[in-house]
Amino acid sequence: MKKLKIALLCLFLVACSSPAKEDTKDTTKKEEVKDTTVSFFAVGDNLLHDTINAEAKTYGETSGRNYDYRPFYKNFEKQIQGADVAFINQETIVGGEELGISGYPNFNSPKEVASDLATTGFDLVNLASNHSLDRSSQGIINALQTFDFEKNLTVAGINDSEERKNEIATFKQKGITFSFLAYTYGTNGIIPENAYEVNYFGDERIASDVAKAKEVSDVVIVSAHWGDENAFELNDMQQHYAQVFADAGVDVVIGTHPHVVQPDTWVDGKDGHKTYVIYSLGNFLGGMLDTKNIVGSYATFDIVKDGKTDDISVKNEDVKPLVIDFHGNQNNILDERYDYTVLPLTKEYDKVASNHVLHGYEGQVVSYEELLRMWTYGTKREI
């Protein structure tokens, strides 16, 4: 009996000391690889005429500032701030009061413009336009000092040194690095004091800039100030440089300058690369006196980085119409235009369209149907 007890005790001790059977089931969850999407919102020309500046000064008196442009953009503020990246073309040079504020034809805008664009939610600002030299070199110096103070803004198109001209403007969003390049067709015949001051179009210059940009970034965005003013049709230069950009590997081209809308399309480049080109977004804010100039576009698109391959693609591109609404006195229309605001162009606009100062001015008609007709003609899109 004693031997039996000892044997049973030994068996118990062996059982307790044996390693537990390992669970061979893999309970580790594999992390799902997700794409990264950066949303873009883009509008056209911020064209600040005298009457707009005068109204901004009035707004400033209420808000305790010299000028306040923020109320003009309030109807698009939600969309601008809702996008990861928002673009605008600053058509007029921001040289500040010391150089004399003025509208057409030699523009110069207050420094408050820069902070107001930043506060509204814009991120990318084109400064290369035909008005870049309206206040000569000092205008460029002042503008860059003002915009550089706004740390949330990335600008391109003008330079205060050779060194800056050779730099590639970059920014990051959601881990994706973007380069931002900007060019203009000309500066209204004004020759810069220094060759580096304005980025002009040129095949070799663009090829070099894009190559450098692709070395330091995942995505290349270009602002192109091109085309003929008031022309819905593309000119040869636009089509030539759209191809140059596509062949160089640019991802998106945002066109400005014509003050009217033009189509958006895809351009096939070398080695199967495709570039999304918006030829012209028209005006975003301005006081021009022809109804075709109060119709603009706002564009949305996504930059998508594939989570598995890191490939970049442009998706969900869309363009919709907007209208610049303002009132005034038709008998003194050059000096009396006010109540400026920018609105999405929808059927609802017909409720107030007849109040536009251009309705009936020189036989013009302001209505949803008429404005949409011009937008459809220019963009080749349907709503």
CA neighbours closer than 13 Å in the CB half-sphere of residue 129: 30
In a domain, 175, yes or no: yes
23 within a domain of the structure (yes/no): no
pLDDT tier, 29 (very low <50, low <70, confident <90, very high otherwise): low
Give pTM, 2 decimals: 0.92
Whether residue 67 lies inside any domain: the answer is: yes
User: For the chain, what is the largest distance between any 2 Cα atoms, rounded to a whole number of angstroms?
Assistant: 126
Residue type, 39: S
Residue 25 lies in a domain: no
71 cis-preceded (ω within 30 degrees of 0): no
Q: Is residue 63 domain-resident? A: yes
Q: Which of 80, 27, 51 is nearest to 344 (CA)?
A: 80
The arithmetic mean of pLDDT across residues 196-214, rounded, is 99
* pLDDT for residue 32: 81
Model pLDDT, residue 383: 86
Q: Report how far residue 96's alpha carbon sits from residue 81's, in angstroms, rounded to the nearest whole number.
A: 26
Inform me whether the pLDDT recorded for 5 exceeds 50.
no
Q: Tokens in use for 267? A: 């351009």
Task: Provide the domain count of the chain.
Answer: 1
Q: Is residue 150 part of a domain?
A: yes
16 part of a folded domain: no
More confident residue, 21 or 342: 342
Structural domain contains residue 1: no
**pLDDT(242) > 50:** yes
Q: What type of residue is 247?
A: D
Sequence-separated contacts (24+) of 369-373 with Cβ below 8 Å: 370/291, 371/291, 371/294, 371/295, 371/321, 371/323, 371/345, 372/321, 372/345
Share of the chain above pLDDT 90, in %: 91
The proportion of the chain whose per-residue pLDDT surpasses 70, expressed as a percent, equals 92
CB 333 within 8 A of CB 361: yes
Instruction: Domain of residue 126: give its range.
Output: 36-379
Q: Is the pLDDT of residue 8 over 90?
A: no
Q: CATH code at 59? A: 3.60.21.10
Nearest in space to 67 (alpha carbons), one of 15, 110, 123, 115 = 110
pLDDT tens across 311-328, in order?
999 999 999 999 999 999
Better pLDDT: 383 or 266? 266
